[in-house]
Structure 1
Amino acid sequence: MAAKPKLFYFQGRGRMESIRWLLAAAGMEFEEEFIETKEQYEKLKKDGCLLFGQVPLVEIDGMTLTQTRAILSYLAAKYDLYGKDLKERARIDMYADGTMDLMLMIAVAAFKPPEEKQESYSLIVNKAKTRYFPVFEKILKDHGEDFLVGNRLSWADIQVLEAVLMVEELDASILSDFPLLKAFKARISNIPTIKKFLQPGSQRKPPPDSRYVEVVRRVLQF
């Protein structure tokens, strides 16, 4: 039996969380090794595991993969979550890249000083309302299907749901003006593998707290 994918990252969301989501949605079990010290990180670099000296790192199918986008693309293709043809794949890429921009804003804000953090979160909520969520509301209206691309689950659906839930943590009423996106959220959340990942005790990580920020700063020395 093939070994489970193994994920190397900090014990928190960051750039690894979308990878966890994609594996979980595909129904795949995975192992995690959490980086807690500078020594662990330096050993991965010394062993040649980190192509550009960066995590996330995923061991899968006899390979060591780095670079978040490359890992996500590989997993989406491997688990048939990447559309039926190049045209669908291009749309999935657009939607995934757009939501990744939004999620990275949230991830970066966690490292800002307390006096700047709330202002950053307010700006992110405003961008979600005015730039990102209207796009997906329109896509759902124009497409008229349960999913964003084609009529089956794809990487785009999974990542948009992840982004929606992250913004809802900042503003619980964010979907009040987006009824189709609200229905989409409920629909995708009830897919069995995703529903399982959303339950307490899963490998889904909570919003970044002060300990997560402190560990990342210490290991990466910034």
Structure 2
Amino acid sequence: MAGKVVLTYFDGRGKMESIRWLLTAAEVDFDEVFLTKREQYQQLLDDGSLMFQQVPLVEIDGMKLIQTKAILNYIAEKYNLHGQDIKDRVKINMYSEGLMDLMEMFMTLIWTPDRKLKLKTIETKAKERYLPAFEKALTGTVYLVGGRLSMADVLLLECSLMLEEEFPGILNDFSKVKSFQTRMMQIPAFAKFLQPGSKRKPQPDEDLKKTVMGVLYLKLL
């Protein structure tokens, strides 16, 4: 019998947060190991756990997985969140990768000298490029693909909440996305994940930035 899923990353959102959300959707409990010291990261390098010397790292089914998209796809496949066939899957992947592109802009905010300018860029792209696409996709349907919950839905919920944290009211002109968000938040697993004390992480701050720098010696999340 496979052991409990273990996530190794920083005690913050970054590239691990979408993985946390997807495991929550699958109702899979997981443990977390937080990197706080350079020695922890060095040990992962020394024992060969990090193929490309990068985190996040997810231990699942006897494997040590890296690369966010590969991890998400594995979880989605394993827990039936990746559509019914290959055509569903490619649509789910298109939506998901678009959402990840948008969310990665948020991840770089903490490293950006001109935060105000970066936020303006994110807001503009969200309103002009991403939200219109999802507003159209949700016309006449509850879920994005195949009439059932998928990885794309999970990432859209996560992303919509991130957008509202920085831009209150941004969904006012996107009623279908807002209605979708409201429905998704009522799913028991998500409702619990959104409560204080859950494994959902807060927005990154200077303390997290210092920790990442101390562990990786890199200005990357």
TM bracket, shorter-chain basis = over 0.9
C-alpha distance in 1 between matches for 2:118 and 2:210: 19
Gaps of 5+ in 1: none
C-alpha distance in 2 between matches for 1:50 and 1:137: 38
Kindly indicate whether residue 217 of structure 2 is the aligned counterpart of residue 221 of structure 1.
yes
C-alpha distance in 1 between matches for 2:128 and 2:80: 32
Which secondary structure does the structure 2 equivalent of 1:28 belong to?
coil
C-alpha distance in 1 between matches for 2:164 and 2:123: 9
What's the CA shift string for 1:117-155, capped at 9, x where partnerless? 1211121011101110000001111xx111000111000
Which secondary structure does the structure 1 equivalent of 2:124 belong to?
helix
Map residues 8-23 of structure 1 onto 2, 5 A cutoff: 8-23=8-23
Q: By how many angstroms is 1:189 displaced?
A: 1.1
Partner of residue 162, structure 2: 166
Partner of residue 7, structure 2: 7
Partner of residue 134, structure 2: 136
Map residues 22-101 of structure 1 onto 2, 5 A cutoff: 22-101=22-101
C-alpha distance in 2 between matches for 1:59 and 1:19: 12
Kindly indicate whether residue 188 of structure 2 is the aligned counterpart of residue 200 of structure 1.
no
Letter in 2 for 1:175: L
Q: By how many angstroms is 1:28 displaced?
A: 0.8
C-alpha distance in 2 between matches for 1:132 and 1:103: 11
Contact (CA 8 Å) 2:144, 2:152: kept in 1 or not?
A: yes
After TM superposition, the structure 1 stretch with the greater mean CA deviation from structure 2, 42-51 or 120-129, is 120-129
Which secondary structure does the structure 2 equivalent of 1:7 belong to?
strand
Partner of residue 126, structure 1: 124
Q: By how many angstroms is 1:2 displaced?
A: 3.5
Aligned length: 218
Q: CA RMSD in A?
A: 0.8
What's the CA shift string for 1:34-64, capped at 9, x where partnerless? 0001110010011000000000000000110
Partner of residue 145, structure 1: 141
C-alpha distance in 2 between matches for 1:86 and 1:195: 30
Contact (CA 8 Å) 2:2, 2:60: kept in 1 or not?
A: no
Which secondary structure does the structure 2 equivalent of 1:110 belong to?
helix
Which secondary structure does the structure 1 equivalent of 2:111 belong to?
coil
Gaps of 5+ in 2: none
Letter in 2 for 1:152: R
Contact (CA 8 Å) 2:2, 2:62: kept in 1 or not?
A: no
C-alpha distance in 2 between matches for 1:213 and 1:126: 26
C-alpha distance in 2 between matches for 1:133 and 1:216: 31
TM-score by length of 1: 0.96
C-alpha distance in 2 between matches for 1:197 and 1:50: 28
Structure 1 runs (4+) greater than 4 angstroms displaced: none
